[in-house]
Each structure stands twice: as structure tokens, then as C-alpha cells.
Amino acid sequence: MRYHFVSMESCPKDSHKSIITLESIPNVVARFFGAKSQTLQFRGSSTIWFSFPEFNKQWTLMDGMLYNIWKREGYKAMSAQK
């Protein structure tokens, strides 16, 4: 399973949190058995992330990946404002 970054936006109710949208792309074997791409959304900040809208806590490796995306995209947004 691969994850492709789609977008990041601020939560309208809480400016400290963000919503990150990823697309999960199945590998060749999974596609052979009928797996399809899915759009996944996660809400949180720093190293605390929950699936959106179910609000299930994410496992440690996914938290780390989302944190890296959050940090990278946040720096890009700050650079664009300057």
C-alpha cells in the first residue's frame, strides 16, 4: 500500500489542527484481487492524528508520516506568505 499526498487544510473550528488528505494506492497483487484506491482524511497536529470523520487514533508509523507531511507543508505555507 502506498500513500500519495493530496492536500492539507486548516480545520475551520480549530486553527491549531489540520486536515490532511491522502490517497491510498494498492500494490499490483492487491489490485489483482480487486482492491481499489481510497481517499483517506486525518485530523490533528504534531504527532497526534485521528482518522476523519471516525476519530480513530492512528498507529505510530502513520502518526510519524503525517507529522512529516504536516511539518513540510506548514513550512511551504510559511515560505509562500513571505
pLDDT at 11 over 90: no
SS (H, E, C) the chain: CEEEEEEEEECCCCCCCEEEEEEEECCHHHHHCCCCCEEEEEEEECCEEEEECCCCECCHHHHHHHHHHHHHHHHHHHHHHC
pLDDT at 82: 61
Domain boundaries, given as residue ranges, for the chain: 2-81
Q: Are strands 2-10 and 48-52 parallel, antiparallel or unpaired?
A: unpaired
Q: Output the pTM of the full model.
A: 0.78
Nearest to 8 by CA among 82, 62, 74: 74
pLDDT at 72 over 80: yes
Tally the residues of the chain.
82
